[in-house]
Amino acid sequence: MASQTLIFTVCTVAQLPFTKVLGDSLPPNISFKIGIVDANRTVFDSRTISLNELPMSEIQSLQQRYDEASLIAASKPFFADFFLQTKQYQTLIYVDPTVFFIGDIGAIVQVIKNYDIVLTPRITHKFGKTPYGDEKMFLNTGMYDSGFWAIRQSDNTLQFLKWWKERLFDRAHFNLCEGMNHEQLWLNYVPIFFKNVLVNKNIGWNLALHNLHERAVTFSENEWKVNQTEKLIFVNFRECLSFPKALNTTIQASGFDSIRKIYLANLTQYISRPPSIFSVRSALFPQISPWKRFLKQQLQSIIDSISHFPLYHKITK
């Protein structure tokens, strides 16, 4: 049965070291493929498949239209469609290249037996504000995490992929003001439009920087657990490779640092410095020097004053 399940990820050639660590964390009996989006592929590995190789007419337009991060995002359902329809896999699990499996992947395979589509929410509890951000930051970036989703072969699933492909063909940019956050924000519709969707709130799935404030990790009796209740199944390190000092407390308090060190040690076997990868938090809060921040604030204040002179009108965010 395991061969009917495929785990796949999508990245650039430069990001391949992540996929090596991901591959090492998978059990040997599970199929694993890596979609590569670069126009000119420079690796030859039986596990990789190039976006150019997909027999789909839209690919060239995608490559012309998008930057790297958008192209990776937009191509996911195209790869998925290829694996389901051409390669006839029964179950697909997409994970970001920066995912690392710690617990039993069988738990995911078991759940997807009963649903067509499985998603995970990025957070599961209200929290107000943390060093990562506040709740409204999730409102325009998406309720469900696009770093993991699992689907099962069915007409319903194929409809979902068709729908997603059509949207991502021209609307997979990163432009929050226009309601676009790559492929992720579109997932908000999935539990509404499609049948047999599970939103899995299990806190042992998809541990990541954005939900660390609600999850404490502990290791006892040879097992990693989250909040001492759920088994830790997998972690996405996408936003943990480098992060501002303000988040250090969150990482320390969650007991996460030890897992992060294990991951980074694994990664250094393949590359000395982690390759760059898109992070929504870094895009929203770019790390800039204090003088630049000050200058920006001053300029904005001059612009606001010109707009509203001589009346003071409360400007709020």
Asked if 314 interacts with another protein (CB under 8 A), we say yes
Asked if 292 interacts with another protein (CB under 8 A), we say yes
Considering only 163, 169, 278, 285, the residue that binds another protein (CB under 8 A) is: 163
Considering only 42, 64, 177, 228, the residue that binds another protein (CB under 8 A) is: 177
Instruction: Tokens 């990790």: give the residue.
Output: 217
Considering only 87, 113, 201, 273, the residue that binds another protein (CB under 8 A) is: 201
Asked if 137 interacts with another protein (CB under 8 A), we say yes
Considering only 113, 178, 223, 273, the residue that binds another protein (CB under 8 A) is: 178
How many whole angstroms separate alpha carbon 216 and alpha carbon 18?
Answer: 24
Residue 124 token pair: 């599961």
Asked if 135 interacts with another protein (CB under 8 A), we say yes
> Residue 150: left (phi > 0), alpha (psi -120 to 50), or beta?
beta
Least Å distance, CB 126 to another protein, is 5
Considering only 88, 192, 228, 272, the residue that binds another protein (CB under 8 A) is: 192
Least Å distance, CB 9 to another protein, is 25
Asked if 295 interacts with another protein (CB under 8 A), we say yes
Q: Which stretch binds another protein (CB under 8 A): 73-81, 104-112, 133-141, 251-259?
A: 133-141
Asked if 41 interacts with another protein (CB under 8 A), we say no
Q: Which stretch binds another protein (CB under 8 A): 5-13, 77-85, 105-113, 124-132?
A: 124-132
Return the half-sphere exposure (C-beta side, CA atoms, 13 A cut-off) of residue 211: 25
CB atoms within 10 A of CB 267: 21
Residues 78-107 that bind another protein (CB under 8 A): none
Q: Which stretch binds another protein (CB under 8 A): 52-60, 255-263, 269-277, 305-313?
A: 305-313
Peptide bond into 310 cis (omega under 30): yes
CB atoms within 10 A of CB 86: 11
Least Å distance, CB 61 to another protein, is 16
Asked if 185 interacts with another protein (CB under 8 A), we say yes
Pick 30 or 143: Cβ nearer another protein: 143
Considering only 171, 255, 270, 282, the residue that binds another protein (CB under 8 A) is: 171
Least Å distance, CB 77 to another protein, is 14
Q: Under 8 Å CB-to-CB from 44, ≥6 apart: which residues?
A: none
Asked if 245 interacts with another protein (CB under 8 A), we say no
Pick 94 or 186: Cβ nearer another protein: 186
Considering only 12, 52, 140, 218, the residue that binds another protein (CB under 8 A) is: 140
Residue type, 310: P
Q: Under 8 Å CB-to-CB from 163, ≥6 apart: which residues?
A: 193
Contact residues for another protein, defined by CB under 8 A: 121, 123-126, 135-141, 143, 163, 166-167, 171, 176-180, 185-186, 188-189, 191-193, 199, 201, 292, 295-296, 299-300, 302-303, 306-309, 311, 313-314, 316-317
